[in-house]
Amino acid sequence: MTSSSADFVEIRQLRKSFGGADVLKGVDLVFRLGEIHAFIGANGAGKSTLLGCLSGAVEPSSGTIAIDGEVFDTLSPRLALEKGIGIIYQHFQVVEGLTVADNIFLGSELRRMGIVDTRQQNERAAALLARLGAVLAPDMPLERLSVGERQIVEIARALRIGPKVLILDEPTAALSDREMSALHDVVRTLAHAENIAIVYVTHLIDEIKAIADCVTVLRDGAVVWTRPAARIDSRQRRQPLRRLREERRRIARRRREAEPAEEAHGSGPAHQNDCRIMDAVRPAIVRTGAMTSVYA
């Protein structure tokens, strides 16, 4: 791999073992500014572990991570943040009982003479939300937000640090089709208008088609390939795509029937929805693996 000025993150020969199990087996990868890099792989392939190394949550066994030319053997969460790495985790981190602005500034509250400056937090939160095109009142209690709106709060929180890299780990697993499409718009703006490097973990091939500039397939802790999204053969993905869309529709229908109140107010636990949707799309992941072998 040759470097270019936009190569903001360069991961070299990254390895990670848990106990005796090799979860990452010498990964080489580059994330570029202004690019949406989709990250795809079966359950347990090591996607979250790899991105955990980049965000400082996981300590690599060996290898290096260079951020803007500065080389690290390991990163702490604080250091990763300082270096401009923002992450939105696979499971929501927002807290009910707090307002939108409180959630955005959770853990790094803006204070004035030692006291949380609610007014300033609300103003800053409104500016971050406006950047995302979201119409959300900063003083609204979180429990009144839909799942998609909670996702926006998570992104606003990640933007607070002015990230150069934004990692989204399966961000649409719990979202409806409409919310997913809105999130795609936000992600495109952040990458293409604000020049942020987006790392986007997904199990859904149709998301790659919709937003990715380039794609990496990870299998058993190793990169199978990285290539521009436009070069993925549409004939290979047509069938899985159709089945996946039908599956999403079926799940959405079941969700509406089972939990009308929860759907209307978005107050249900995101993880629960997450699991149900992901359980349903997992068979498609196997088909994705089959597509991968065509290229491999």
Ligand X SMILES: Nc1ncnc2c1ncn2[C@@H]1O[C@H](COP(=O)(O)OP(=O)(O)OP(=O)(O)O)[C@@H](O)[C@H]1O
Q: Which is nearer to Mg ion, 132 or 212 (CB)?
A: 212
Residue whose structure tokens are 């989204």: 168
Contact with ligand X (CB under 6 A): which of 35, 49, 94, 163? 49
- DSSP for 14-29, written as a single string: EEEEETTEEEEEEEEE
Q: Which is nearer to Mg ion, 48 or 121 (CB)?
A: 48
Q: Which is nearer to ligand X, 194 or 206 (CB)?
A: 206
Q: Is 224 exposed, middle or buried (0-12, 13-18, 19+ CB in 10 A)?
A: middle
Using rule CB under 6 A, residue 63 touches ligand X: no
Helix (H, G, I), strand (E, B) or coil at 245: helix
- Terminal C-alpha separation, the chain: 18
Binding mask 76-115 for ligand X (x = CB under 6 A): --------------x-------------------------
Region near ligand X per CB under 6 A, out of 44-52, 104-112, 129-137, 237-245: 44-52
Region near ligand X per CB under 6 A, out of 41-49, 139-147, 151-159, 232-240: 41-49
Which tokens is 141 given? 């209690």
- Position with the least CB separation from Mg ion: 48
Using rule CB under 5 A, residue 292 touches Mg ion: no
**What Cα–Cα distance (Å) separates residue 217 from each residue in 77, 87, 144, 220, 261?**
25, 20, 37, 10, 38
Region near ligand X per CB under 6 A, out of 37-45, 155-163, 189-197, 262-270: 37-45
Helix (H, G, I), strand (E, B) or coil at 31: strand
54 binds, among ligand X, Mg ion, none (CB under 5 to 8 A by kind): none
Radius of gyration of the chain (CA): 19
Helix (H, G, I), strand (E, B) or coil at 133: coil
Contact with ligand X (CB under 6 A): which of 27, 38, 40, 45? 45
**What Cα–Cα distance (Å) separates residue 251 from each residue in 174, 254, 259, 276, 292?**
11, 5, 12, 8, 26
d(CA 34, CA 39): 16
Binding mask 9-48 for Mg ion (x = CB under 5 A): --------------------------------------xx
41 binds, among Mg ion, ligand X, none (CB under 5 to 8 A by kind): ligand X
Residue 170 carries which DSSP code? S
167 binds, among Mg ion, ligand X, none (CB under 5 to 8 A by kind): none
Binding site for ligand X (CB under 6 A): 18, 23, 41, 43-49, 90
Binding site for Mg ion (CB under 5 A): 47-48
